[in-house]
C-alpha cells in the first residue's frame, strides 16, 4: 500500500530556530504539494512541484520559507527563522498528472508534521 511519508511527525522548537520537514512522495508520482493547516486558516497551499520543478510557491512567505526537491524521492520544506505563528500542521501530498486523465490529478496526503514554535 503506497503512501506518502513525512518526517518528523512532531516538532517542538524555539522561536528563531531552523526547521526542516521532509516528504517522500509515492513512487512514480510526479507532483508534490506542501500545505499548512491551522484552525483559523484551514488548509493553505504553500507550494507545489511537478517533475521536481517548482510551479507555484505564491502561498509561501518568501522571507523565511523555502521548498526544494533534491531528487524525485525527497521534498523538503524549510523555515528559517521559525516564529510562533508558524505553528501548524504541515502536510505533503503527491499526485500523478497523466495527459488525458483530467485537468487535475488527485492528491494523496502524508500524515503531516505537527510543528509547535515556542
Partner 1 sequence: RKEVEQDPGPFNVPEGATVAFNCTYSNSASQSFFWYRQDCRKEPKLLMSVYSSGNEDGRFTAQLNRASQYISLLIRDSKLSDSATYLCVDGFKLSFGAGTTVTVRA
Of the candidate spans 8-16, 22-30, 62-70, 109-117, the one that interacts with partner 1 by CB under 8 A turns out to be 109-117
58 scored as a contact of partner 1 (CB under 8 A): no
Q: Which residues pair with 53 in a beta bridge?
A: 50
Q: Could you tell me the CA-to-CA distances from 86 to 15, 44, 48, 75, 109 in Å, in that order? A: 9, 13, 19, 19, 20
45 scored as a contact of partner 1 (CB under 8 A): yes
Answer whether 9's CB lies under 8 Å from 116's CB. Answer: no
Binds partner 1 (CB under 8 A): choice among 25, 77, 107, 117: 107
Binds partner 1 (CB under 8 A): choice among 48, 50, 66, 85: 48
102 scored as a contact of partner 1 (CB under 8 A): yes
Instruction: Report the distance separating Cα 3 and Cα 94, nearest Å.
Output: 9
Q: How far is the CB of 69 from partner 1 (least distance, A)?
A: 17
Q: How far is the CB of 81 from partner 1 (least distance, A)?
A: 27
Type and span of the H or E element at 60? none
Q: How far is the CB of 85 from partner 1 (least distance, A)?
A: 19
Answer whether 50's CB lies under 8 Å from 78's CB. Answer: no
28 scored as a contact of partner 1 (CB under 8 A): no
The three cell numbers of residue 102 are 483530467
How many residues sit close enough to partner 1 to count as binding (CB under 8 A)? 19
Amino acid at each position: 500500500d503506497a503512501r506518502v511519508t513525512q518526517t518528523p511527525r512532531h516538532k517542538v522548537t524555539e522561536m528563531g530556530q531552523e526547521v526542516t520537514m521532509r516528504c517522500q512522495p509515492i513512487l512514480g508520482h510526479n507532483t508534490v504539494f506542501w500545505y499548512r493547516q491551522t484552525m483559523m486558516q484551514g488548509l493553505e497551499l504553500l507550494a507545489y512541484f511537478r517533475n521536481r520543478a517548482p510551479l507555484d510557491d505564491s502561498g509561501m512567505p518568501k522571507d523565511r520559507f523555502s521548498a526544494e526537491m533534491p531528487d524525485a524521492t525527497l521534498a523538503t520544506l524549510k523555515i528559517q527563522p521559525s516564529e510562533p505563528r508558524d505553528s501548524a500542521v504541515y502536510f505533503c501530498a503527491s499526485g500523478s498528472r497523466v495527459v488525458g486523465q483530467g485537468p487535475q490529478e488527485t492528491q494523496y496526503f502524508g500524515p503531516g508534521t505537527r510543528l509547535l514554535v515556542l
